[in-house]
Amino acid sequence: MRRLVFPLSETEDLSSLEAGQEILVEGVIYTARDSVHQLTSRGEGEWPFELKGNAIYYCGPTPALPGFPLGSCGPTTSARMDPYTPELYAGGLAATIGKGPRSRSVVDALREFGGVYLAAYGGCGALYASCVREAEVVAYRHLGPQAIFRVRVESFPVLVGVDSEGRSIFKGEFK
């Protein structure tokens, strides 16, 4: 199966990914959800990592059980992050990872800037916990589960939800 390592190397070609393909995410990704998107878009906060080549995972994990680096950590609904997302792709972000369909403006941004949207399996927090090797809070600790976690993952399964040509796996979006 195709593996995609974050942060992306200079030679990685996202345009070869096709909607509907299952791939494995490897390397380092960063969690962020509602509060961080609101704060950064209002200029009241900054992203603690370079957008270029990186992936944002829409996730607010549960506390880790003993012996685990992170708790249940499935994706949250991507649609709520839609209004904030095009400008992140414009800033060089390579991928977002979440669940469910995206808005037309996000799909347009993917086409324009050559990014991808990766669809994680909704509700599968225990499965994803088993793919996490390390996790640490790198910003917004006071937001609790909404803090930004730097997460190192191994064989983290996702579908290519919307590819860089704007093709999507979702039925009934834009309604």
Partner 1 sequence: MLTEDSLRRKVAAEAVKAVSLLPPPLEKKISQARENSEGLERKVLGRILENIEAAESSGVPLCQDTGVFEVWLRLGKNTASEGRRITEAILRGVRDVHESGPLRSSMSDIKPVIHTEISGADETGVIMTPRGFGSENYTFLHMLPPGVEEDEIIERVYGDLRRAAGRPCPPYVLGLGIGGTASKAVELSALALAECDFEHSPFEERVLRKANTLGTGAGGVGGAHTVLGVKLLEFPRHIAGVPLAVHIGCWCNRVVRFFL
- Provide the binding-site residues for partner 1, judged by CB under 8 A: 20, 22, 59-63, 65, 68, 71-74, 76-77, 79, 99-101, 119, 121-127, 129-130, 144-145, 157, 159, 169-173, 175
Q: Which is nearer to partner 1, 55 or 120 (CB)?
A: 120
- The CB-of-108 to partner 1 minimum distance in angstroms stands at 19
Q: Which is nearer to partner 1, 86 or 99 (CB)?
A: 99
Name the residue with tokens 């950064």.
Answer: 40
- Residue 156 pairs in a beta bridge with 25
List, by residue number, the catalytic residues: 37
Q: CB-based burial of residue 18 (10 Å sphere; 0-12 exposed, 13-18 middle, 19+ buried)?
A: middle
- The CB-of-78 to partner 1 minimum distance in angstroms stands at 8
- The CB-of-161 to partner 1 minimum distance in angstroms stands at 9
Q: Which is nearer to partner 1, 8 or 79 (CB)?
A: 79
